[in-house]
Amino acid sequence: MKHEIPKAVLSSYDIGNVTRVKVVTDGLVHKTFEIETPTGQYILQKLHPVLASKAIGRDFLFVTRFLALEGFPTPQAVLSKKGDVVLKIGNDAWRMQTKLKGKTLHVLKDLKMAQACGELYAQFHHVMDGFPYTFTSTKILHETEKVYASFLESVKKGKKEEVAEVQEEIEFLTIMLPKYFLPSDLPMRVIHGDPKISNILFNTKGEAKAIIDLDTCNRRPLLVELGDAFRSWCGGAEDAIDNTFNLAVFRSAWRGYQKGAGDMMTKKEVQYVPQAIGTITLELAARFMADYFDDHYFGWDASRYASRREHNLARARGQISEFMDYQKKLPAIKKIVGGK
């Protein structure tokens, strides 16, 4: 059986003989494999160095164990024979978890699914509000001000010809992103960190049943999660140059989230939901633009782009396109959130 997983990795787990390995191409960061053995099905990930710390592994272990105890569908961490969550082999880090049944999608098929996704994430947030744990990882997503500062630093270090090619995008993000910074006094809650559609599992009826990729959980304002969710669910492909924001999908997803959340959200959190969508859309554009210069973080599709930098530039432009359409529809978004 030919695959890219070293024998030393597979032999470090007590899962039996591997009968099938499939490469999963969905992820932007980790390299992921589906593994089948007589004992079951598993997900093995070769972790990106930025997300390969023992602290992140420990957080992942406690998050998944807590969700399981609360009856929320979740994959479970599979420890190595030595009891490690993160396995270090040579210069690489690996992590294994159980594989849940279900199908992943990249685009919502209908409004019913959008509502189900909103409700599922509300349930997740409700459960995690009672999580008695202090996160140990210092890798925290959606710190918008830090993302902005990092973006400016990447531009500053960029070559003159590289900067000249994207001057328009740089100026747009430099001006617009600070205008969308969220208030600093919002409640801190446990969030998933990466609520894209492909991190939700659907059953054969198209019902949202589970959330996966739980290694980015931490305490952050709930609005950064909702902003990212609605940006992702209501937009098209991240690298689509004509990306738009779908109001009908947003209306259904927000209805689902409200149904699941009940009175969990404060009035201030609800008030800033419309702005948060713009915040995270611009934040992600800035992250993609920074990696256009840094060229080391996000994965890229070699079948469609000549380089990681080229793909990240397309992604940044796709997010800016979605933001421009979102801005036009912002009055309608505010009416939906306000119940009008």
In CATH terms, the superfamily for domain 7-98 is: Phosphorylase Kinase; domain 1 (3.30.200.20)
Distances from the Cα of 233 to the Cαs of 229, 242, 290, in angstroms? 6, 16, 23
Please state the pTM of the whole predicted model.
0.91
H helix intervals, 199-307: 222-234, 247-261, 267-271, 273-294
Mean pLDDT score of the chain: 93
Fold matches, 7-98 and 111-337: no
Decide which of 3.40.50.720, 3.90.1200.10, 3.30.1130.10, 3.40.640.10 is the CATH code for 111-337. 3.90.1200.10
User: In which element (H, E) is residue 31 found?
Assistant: strand 31-37
Token pair, residue 309, equals 């930098």
pLDDT tens-digit map of 39-67: 999 999 999 888 889 999 999 999 999 99
Q: Report the candidate in 26, 332, 331, 81 with the shortest Cα–Cα distance to residue 201.
A: 26
Residue 298 pLDDT > 80, yes or no?
A: yes
Q: Where are the domains of the chain?
A: 7-98, 111-337
Percent of the chain predicted with pLDDT > 70: 97
**pLDDT for position 256:** 97
Place 242 in a pLDDT band, splitting at 50, 70 and 90.
Answer: very high
